[in-house]
Every structure is written in structure tokens, then in C-alpha cells.
Amino acid sequence: QVTLKESGPGILQPSHTLSLTCSFSGFSLSTYGMGVSWIRQPSGKGLEWLASIWWNGNTYNNPSLKSRLTVSKDTSNNQAFLKVTSVDTADTATYYCAHTRPTGPHYWGQGVMVTVSS
């Protein structure tokens, strides 16, 4: 059974760096074809794919966030991480991590709400 859970600061100030952790079970990020994606959703709005990291270390970021995104993984501890630098109010959203295969995101975490406010 695949499960994922996101954790993060809840609230942070503009210009700071957002750090999120995805802790998962039921699969390994060292297994061929496995990946983790990050997706966010502002309240009442649509979904935005942010980044994906794969079993082989390859990463893909959404260029709409320019170079603000960094995704990484700790295979031994079954965790993936997302950092977003220079946050502003537009980054306020629920952030999800999702177990990803070549067929796309399959299982999603419950999401973590992040508010950017001074």
C-alpha cells in the first residue's frame, strides 16, 4: 500500500525559503521507474505541477517558477524534498506530493497548507 505525507512550516514570510518534506511508504525511490512529483493548488483554484524527481536522480522543474525550485530525495529514509526560494503571497497554496510512474502521478498525499504572509 502506497502512502505519502507532506510536512512543512505552515506559514512563512515573504522572501523566505519554503522547505517541504514528503515522507512515503509502499515504494522505493531507488526502484526503476519510480518517482515523486510536487503539485500545488491555491485555495479554490486549479492544480499546478511544480517538479518531479526520478529513481535515477533526474529532475524536472516547471520553468514558470524560473530557478526558484529545487527537488531532492533521501532514498534511504524514503523521503523527497522541495525547496522554493523567494516566496511571495502567490505561493500560498496546498502543496501535494504524489507517487509518480511513467504513467503520471498515481497516489497523492493529503497535502499541506502553506501560507505566505508578513
Partner 1 sequence: DIQMTQSPSVLSASVGDRVTLNCKASQNINKYLNWYQQKLGEAPKLLIYNTNNLQTGIPSRFSGSGSGTDYTLTISSLQPEDVATYFCFQHNSWPLTFGSGTKLEIK
Residues that bind partner 1 (CB under 8 A): 37, 46-49, 52, 60, 62-64, 96, 103-111
CA-only gyration radius of the chain, Å: 13
To partner 1, the closest distance from the beta carbon of 24 in angstroms equals 14
* Spatial distance between the Cα atoms of 23 and 11, rounded to a whole number of angstroms: 20
- Return the number of the residue (9 or 104) whose C-beta is nearest partner 1: 104
* Spatial distance between the Cα atoms of 19 and 94, rounded to a whole number of angstroms: 13
Specify which residues 71 forms β-bridges with. 82
To partner 1, the closest distance from the beta carbon of 87 in angstroms equals 20
- Return the number of the residue (87 or 95) whose C-beta is nearest partner 1: 95
β-pairing, 93-101 vs 112-116, is antiparallel
- Return the number of the residue (64 or 89) whose C-beta is nearest partner 1: 64
